[in-house]
């Protein structure tokens, strides 16, 4: 399939699943062309869902963050690994208990499905992004897992992009607990197909009608490969062109950023 055929295939998609960190913003800086990209989605009546592996913020907080950056989107367009983790735990053990190393977005998602917090004998130890991460909380989590609590991570990301570099993400934060206990965590977020199936249901679209946009080969693009959804890699996050060739799989298309999407798709439409 040549480049023209690939672009035409993307242009015919009805729905766009888009990562956030490294795709839409870095920290509190909106990336170039994001407003124009969202305007294009809305003007062309495309369905879209911002799907983030971050468990730190709720959909409402993400909505408010983008509003502060000058982009107005309703909260229904956001889905997080915190929500996915809460739903997963509720299906596994309804109204269970958890010891959480994470931010309010994760804790509130668990409360919303009927979970309660438990520091003594929880059913699960759940780890997400955590600003209050420290040795005491890790030590406590280790002993809870040794005592029988099951270990769950909201996502496997080792790092996340920030304005001036990268920061440790859930995969890195949960590693000491896993190493100390010898227990392999179960990760709910991308590239787990659970996230992609839920996204498709929320959009009301089939995988053939959808494209996923992300900046990470090991989560976003792998999610697309495993769910058989065409994937579009942008180079505004943690992945460079040089890194792509180190993986056994490739994205459907590679672009510098989402800023290129409207121009690329409108150009072929005019030809």
Beta strand 159-162 with 165-168 is antiparallel
Q: SS3 of 242, please?
A: helix
Catalytic residues: 19, 21
Report CA 182 to chain centroid distance, whole Å.
26
Cα distances (Å, whole numbers) of residue 69 to 29, 218, 236: 7, 28, 17
Tokens of 139: 């030590």
Provide φ and ψ at 169, rounded to 5°.
-115, -170
Helix segments in 77-147, DSSP class H? 81-92, 104-112, 135-146
Closest CA to 10 of 253, 259, 256: 253
Tokens of 198: 């839920």
| Whole-angstrom distance, CA of residue 23 vs CA of residue 25 | 6
| Whole-angstrom distance, CA of residue 268 vs CA of residue 213 | 19
- Contact of 125 with 151, CB cutoff 8 Å: yes
Q: What angle do helix axes 34-43 and 260-270 make, rounded to 10 degrees?
A: 40
């Amino acid at each position: 399939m040549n480049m023209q055929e690939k672009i035409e295939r993307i242009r015919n998609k009805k729905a766009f699943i888009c990562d956030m960190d490294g795709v839409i913003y870095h920290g509190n800086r909106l990336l170039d062309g994001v407003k124009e990209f969202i305007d294009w989605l809305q003007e062309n009546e495309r369905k879209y869902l911002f799907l983030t592996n971050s468990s730190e913020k709720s959909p409402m907080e993400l909505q408010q963050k983008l509003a502060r950056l000058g982009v107005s989107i309703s909260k229904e367009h956001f889905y997080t690994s915190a929500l996915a983790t809460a739903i997963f735990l509720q299906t596994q053990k309804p109204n269970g208990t958890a010891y959480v190393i994470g931010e309010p977005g994760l804790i509130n998602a668990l409360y919303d499905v009927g979970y309660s917090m438990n520091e003594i004998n929880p059913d699960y130890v759940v780890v997400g992004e955590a600003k209050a991460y420290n040795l005491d909380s890790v030590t406590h989590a280790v002993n809870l897992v040794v005592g029988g609590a099951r270990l769950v991570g909201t996502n496997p990301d080792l790092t996340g992009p920030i304005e001036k570099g990268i920061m440790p993400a859930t995969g890195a934060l949960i590693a000491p607990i896993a190493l100390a206990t010898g227990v392999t965590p179960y990760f709910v977020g991308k590239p787990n197909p659970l996230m992609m199936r839920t996204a498709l249901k929320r959009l009301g679209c089939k995988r053939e009608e959808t494209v996923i946009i992300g900046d990470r080969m090991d989560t976003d693009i792998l999610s697309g490969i495993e769910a058989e959804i065409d994937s579009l890699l942008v180079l505004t996050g943690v992945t460079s062109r040089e890194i792509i060739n180190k993986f056994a799989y490739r994205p459907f298309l590679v672009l510098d950023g989402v800023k290129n999407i409207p121009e690329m798709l409108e150009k072929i439409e005019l030809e």
